[in-house]
Structure 1
Amino acid sequence: MATAIKKSSGSGSNKLGKLILGLLLVVLITGASVAGTYFFLQKSGVLGPVMADGSVETRAPIAPLPAPIFASLEPFTVTLHDERTTRILYLAITLRLVDEHSRTMVTEYMPEVRDRVLRLLSVQNPSYIQTPEGREKLVQDLTQLLQRPYLPQPRGPEISAVLFTAFVVQ
């Protein structure tokens, strides 16, 4: 009977030893996994460049981008002539400008800006400007036309995009 008691108490400490060994193994594997991940992220530069002393250089926060500068033109209604028909073009344009000086220039010279746009729109072919290629060509032509200087200014406004906010051909 004495031997039976020894076996049962040895069996309990054996189970406890296996449990501790299992927990130790889990902690060891988890630690190795975290260390390996940190090592590879640091080497790849995700965590930032590594300094000569082994410390990680933190990046300065990125400066916020400036707000976009837009100038809306009142909508245009133009009669377009085709070989067979007469069509009406209704077009609203917004200009995206590079700087505040360009917005001021467009605002100050608005009558001339509108005149240039109207003259260009009135010679368009209604079938062609309804195609994607035609609209893209119109954007390019408007950009070049509106960036030319407005006398007596030595240079014109800097336009980064011509945006159509309404485009209807009837």
Structure 2
Amino acid sequence: MSESTASPAKNKMLIIVALALVALLVVGGALAWLLLAQRGAADEEEGRAPSAQAALPKTPPTFLPMDNMVVNLADPGGDRFVQVGITLELADAKTSELVKTYMPSIRSKVLLLLSQRTTDELLTREGKEKLALDIRREVSHPLGFSVPKPRRRAVQRDLDEEELEDDEVAPRRSRADDNPVRQVLFSSFIIQ
């Protein structure tokens, strides 16, 4: 073959390869765009912001399960009791070790809290949430943190804002919570 016939064939081959690479890049970009669009739609359906991963804490929480507790309730007659499994969500492993050093005192305070409750209180969601808040307060106290008591809400679910009296105040926005005891979680809750 002469050099003049090889050069156009080489040029055609280079053009074909270049077009194939461009097509591959376009298809890959379109595929990536579709995947990101689907992920954003899934995040919106679940109620998360698209940047939910960026909002995650820097260190994952540490979970510290407490031994199950069985306590008589404060019902008349004293024949009702509750069995509760509690897990503490803590900021980190260092906090977990600190809580473990105070665990006998914490268990005693939690048992006293439970023994002051009635069946009617603990059967409602609000009663369980109040108990969890009180337990968080008792766990936080030896660590040097306080948990503020919940403010009474000025706005009832039934009332419109227009019906508020002048002396009622809307609830404040919650400020950042630096307490290393993040949550009290119930792993079991049996009332008999």
Instruction: Tell me which interval the TM-score lies in, with the shorter structure as reference length.
Output: 0.5 to 0.7
Using CA pairs under 8 Å that are at least 6 residues apart, name the structure with larger relative contact order, 1 or 2.
2
Q: Could you tell me how far apart the structure 2 residues matched to 1:162 and 1:70 are? A: 10
Please state if 1:139 is matched with 2:132. Answer: yes
TM-score (norm 1): 0.57
Unaligned regions of 5+ residues in structure 2, if any? Answer: 1-25, 38-52, 146-178
From the two aligned structures, give the one with the greater strand fraction: 1
Unaligned regions of 5+ residues in structure 1, if any? Answer: 1-33, 47-60
Please state if 1:77 is matched with 2:99. Answer: no
TM-score (norm 2): 0.51
Which of these residues, 157, 163, 168, is aligned with residue 185 of structure 2?
Answer: 163
Deviation of the 1:102 alpha carbon: 1.4
Please state if 1:124 is matched with 2:124. Answer: no
Amino acid in structure 2 at the alignment position of 1:133: E
- CA deviation profile, 1:109-128 (whole Å, cap 9, x unmatched): 11111111111111111111
Q: Could you tell me how far apart the structure 2 residues matched to 1:167 and 1:129 are? A: 9
CA contact under 8 A between 2:60 and 2:92: conserved in structure 1?
A: no
- Higher-Rg structure is 1
Deviation of the 1:64 alpha carbon: 8.9
Deviation of the 1:108 alpha carbon: 1.2
- Give 3-state SS (helix, strand or coil) of 1:78's partner: strand
RMSD of the alignment, in Å? 3.0
CA contact under 8 A between 2:62 and 2:92: conserved in structure 1?
A: yes
Deviation of the 1:65 alpha carbon: 5.0
Amino acid in structure 2 at the alignment position of 1:164: F
Query: 1:24 — aligned with what?
Result: none
Query: 1:108 — aligned with what?
Result: 101
* Identity across matched positions, percent: 33
Count residues in correspondence: 113
- Give 3-state SS (helix, strand or coil) of 1:66's partner: coil
CA contact under 8 A between 2:73 and 2:115: conserved in structure 1?
A: yes
- Give 3-state SS (helix, strand or coil) of 1:74's partner: coil
Amino acid in structure 1 at the alignment position of 2:191: V
